[in-house]
Each structure stands twice: as C-alpha cells, then as structure tokens.
Amino acid sequence: ETGVTQSPTHLIKTRGQQVTLRCSSQSGHNTVSWYQQALGQGPQFIFQYYREEENGRGNFPPRFSGLQFPNYSSELNVNALELDDSALYLCASSYRTGGSFFRTQYFGPGTRLLVL
C-alpha cells in the first residue's frame, strides 16, 4: 500500500506567477483535501475533492483552485501569487462512502512554496 505523495517538494516563485502542486492519494482512497500551513501555525483548510467535485471550501480566494482526476489524484493551482502564499501545502487523502461519516485523513509530506 502506497502512502500519500506530493510533488514537487520545494518550489520558488515570484509574485504574480502561477503554480501547480500535485498530490497522489493513498491506494483505495477517493477523497483529497488540501491545507495551507504558514510558519508557526496550524494547517488551514483550503478545499476538499470527492468524486472529482469540490466538496467544501475554506476561507480562500478564487485564485486557489483545484482538480481531482479519475484516479483520485489531485492538483492545487494558485494564480497571481502573493508573498503571503508562502507556506507548506499539505494534501490529505481519505475514503468516503458518501453521507457525512468522517474518516481518518492521511497526510503527504507537503510542498514548501516560497514566493519572492
């Protein structure tokens, strides 16, 4: 059983650029959630994807967008990067059968984004 993987591990961008981060979910999982963790803070929920649709979104502007693919992997896209977007971006996968039952989320190692 493979765990959650993320790519790239580190990334440096300049303000105004666009970035795409990738996440492969754990085998058998169908749900992916993305979190942003600024230095010294707890992770903040960005959004969740279930069955290729956005299912829940945190307090992030529309320039944060995502996709989930048929194999349940996911992308996080951020347009018009700002300095405050510098953070560790974490992806977590889990398995849902529908309804509101909440299962354990398994986290990947994260992508460290630095915006200059």
Partner 1 sequence: KQEVTQIPAALSVPEGENLVLNCSFTDSAIYNLQWFRQDPGKGLTSLLLIQSSQREQTSGRLNASLDKSSGRSTLYIAASQPGDSATYLCAAPIPNDYKLSFGAGTTVTVRA
Q: Which residues bind partner 1 (CB under 8 A)?
A: 4, 6, 33, 35, 40-45, 48, 55-56, 58, 88, 90, 92, 100, 102, 104-110, 112
CA dist., res. 45 & res. 60, Å (int): 9
Q: Which residue lies nearer to partner 1 by CB, 22 or 112?
A: 112
In the complex, least distance from residue 16 CB atom to partner 1, rounded to whole angstroms:
26
In the complex, least distance from residue 88 CB atom to partner 1, rounded to whole angstroms:
7
Q: Which residue lies nearer to partner 1 by CB, 25 or 105?
A: 105
CA dist., res. 16 & res. 66, Å (int): 18
Closest among 2, 33, 1 to 103, alpha carbons compared: 33
Sign of CA dihedral 46, 19, 76, 91: negative
Closest among 62, 53, 42 to 107, alpha carbons compared: 42
Q: Which residue lies nearer to partner 1 by CB, 18 or 39?
A: 39
Q: Which residue lies nearer to partner 1 by CB, 16 or 56?
A: 56
In the complex, least distance from residue 61 CB atom to partner 1, rounded to whole angstroms:
17
In the complex, least distance from residue 2 CB atom to partner 1, rounded to whole angstroms:
15
Q: What is the DSSP letter of 99?
A: T
Tell me the three state secondary structure of residue 67: strand
